[in-house]
Structure 1
């Protein structure tokens, strides 16, 4: 990166002498350049992120206060390698370096992202600009990024097994300063089911260090109380639990089992409609397979298909993932 056609900056520091009037400082977040006119530009580091902060003994439910970090001085522009570590944007928003008047510039697009259009799509989700090679930019810029989605906002990500839906849901929230990950699946016990435990461990390892995982089936309560960003993974496992609690998996279900399932679904939909959070929920696409051979399978297909329809009708965005590609359902 060249600054004012006078000197170059690399993520390891400067390359060449710094002209009079400029200050270049290596910080924990990257290389900070302060210009003679007072402008502040940060070339964010792309190396490993900081160690996770230890949660307090009595962790509050509000995601923004679960892990605290002292706010730092805001800059005018941040340049981030958004292919190497896009979650840096969320880290810097969390620390206070990126504020509402900071322009975020995403660079680093290469063969690791399939096309310039896909790189620009991701940048829009993160509230960042994605300039082309050789672009000359002012600090602050003359063109600002489009506003990223903010709560209240609902996105439903559907797709088949191994279609990339969880990866897409996580990608959408990488630039958020606080994220609650609502895990609705069964607890991972390596002694009982080592394969499931390994799957859960891989999911945990790829999440940013500051995301808070909450294992819960009370999705309605969580959506009513959270104000930041929430990732729900997934509605299918939540519905599986609800149907079990109501007795629909039994050979002779209670007479009111279906009514209780419908009541739980409608409670969730009311919370989904009224939430103040930015919610991204993963669900399973049930309409692409054969009709299940069992009564329980057909009941699950019917209930989840209806839940997906109703949640989609109450969502600002619905996307379908197929073979790792994302199709926006207008």
Structure 2
């Protein structure tokens, strides 16, 4: 299942265009602009359709021409822009379109459809299940000030997601209905950040964490569930602080335009490369922030007599969730093969150094054992059964090393990087703390 996040923001977006609070100014300066929360599923189902959504689809290179179903959560204007139906009629679409949701939301749409438009309206109520082509959709109760539905969606392969916006802490009936759901992804609203006196049907960071915990306790969320915070507003802290706050719950935020590939048992390999202090490790950790349990492989053999090494390992552990497991080793292929939780390997450069040391290749210049290790690493990377992220150093853009050993290392690491990149679904180059996708 593919989800394109057409928006991840609250009703006023983030930043609020009239606000000069630190959160809004920071978002504006970083050009982290979040529009009305909505998502496109496999180009066939549109989850909510606020007034900004059609244009967002165009900005992110997507057409809505193939949408067969629009699932509306509720009638609030940031989730329902019925003029989109008029846009569709102007394009002379003749394919059937089904609009589903609470009756009051559908009532606001009917006047935007002409008598000959191939659009039908299907009211839904809490607890109702319906088949939309190959997708099974179940409507569940929200805690919101107007009639609102949350959606439990399963595709033909068994991939299952929960779309939960807008809502405050979930009703017990909804939590009970989600027991043992074991979602592949959960999209849960988190509007108010540290503001707790909002008094509306929304989450703040504290109640968001409590809801995630309730869903974990009933096995709706598992260690493999990607938990994504949506409907984010400017009462949230700046992006880096928000990421840390969400990480406590094993959740993350993604930008508008993010493309999420979601699937049962899916293995996704990502290589993150870049220069020194470019933000590689922090970015890589963020890619797996949605997983509660991750095996973090600190490559290179343990150096108990090196204070700098010990301090570095301690600082890395301190910034990662306590539920993550750290393993210090360069013997990684067996870990890949036996993995049941996602893996973060940091980094390939220290892995290569450790293998060169192990085989005494610096002195002998016999690289046969090192090349064999590289072959085994590439094979294990390709066969790894869980999501895996590796960090490496970009060595091809610097000066030519002035030592023979330096040139040897550069050439071998370039080879390792090329081998791993060729077997990765995603490759990201980090520079000045900013990611550039080389392969998506």
- Pair in the same fold by TM > 0.5: yes
Alignment correspondent of 1:34: 171
Say which of 98, 101, 111 aligns to 2:221: 98
Say which of 176, 189, 212 aligns to 2:291: 176
Q: Partners in 2 of 1:82 and 1:258 — Cα distance?
A: 57
Q: Does 1:200 align with 2:340?
A: no
Conserved in 1, the CA contact under 8 Å of 2:227 and 2:290? no
Q: Partners in 2 of 1:287 and 1:105 — Cα distance?
A: 37
Q: Counterparts of 1:1-330 in structure 2 under 5 Å?
A: 3-5=143-145, 32-34=169-171, 38-40=173-175, 78-80=188-190, 95=217, 96-98=219-221, 104-106=228-230, 107-108=232-233, 112-113=238-239, 146-148=260-262, 151-187=266-302, 189=304, 192-250=305-363, 253=364, 257-330=366-439
TM-score by length of 2: 0.48
Unaligned runs of 5+ in 2: 1-9, 11-141, 147-167, 195-204
Q: Partners in 2 of 1:102 and 1:296 — Cα distance?
A: 43
> How many equivalent residue pairs?
248
Superposed CA RMSD: 4.1
Q: Partners in 1 of 2:212 and 2:327 — Cα distance?
A: 19
Q: Partners in 2 of 1:302 and 1:90 — Cα distance?
A: 46
The C-alpha deviation readout for 1:8-52, integer Å capped at 9, x for no partner, is xxxxxxxxxxxxxxxxxxxxxxx84317xx3349xxxxxxxxxxx
SS in structure 1 of the partner of residue 362 of structure 2: coil
Q: Residues 295 and 146 of structure 1: is their aligned pair in 2 closer, same or farther, counting only changes over 3 Å?
A: closer
Q: Residues 91 and 298 of structure 1: is their aligned pair in 2 closer, same or farther, counting only changes over 3 Å?
A: farther
Larger radius of gyration: 2
Q: Partners in 1 of 2:145 and 2:413 — Cα distance?
A: 58
Shift of residue 274 of structure 1?
Answer: 1.3
Higher RCO (CA < 8 A, seq sep 6+): 1
Shift of residue 321 of structure 1?
Answer: 0.5
Runs of 4+ in 1 over 4 A off after TM superposition: 71-77, 80-95, 99-104, 108-111, 126-131, 145-150
Q: Residues 263 and 83 of structure 1: is their aligned pair in 2 closer, same or farther, counting only changes over 3 Å?
A: farther
Q: Partners in 2 of 1:204 and 1:148 — Cα distance?
A: 28
The C-alpha deviation readout for 1:165-200, integer Å capped at 9, x for no partner, is 0001100001113211111134354xx433332222
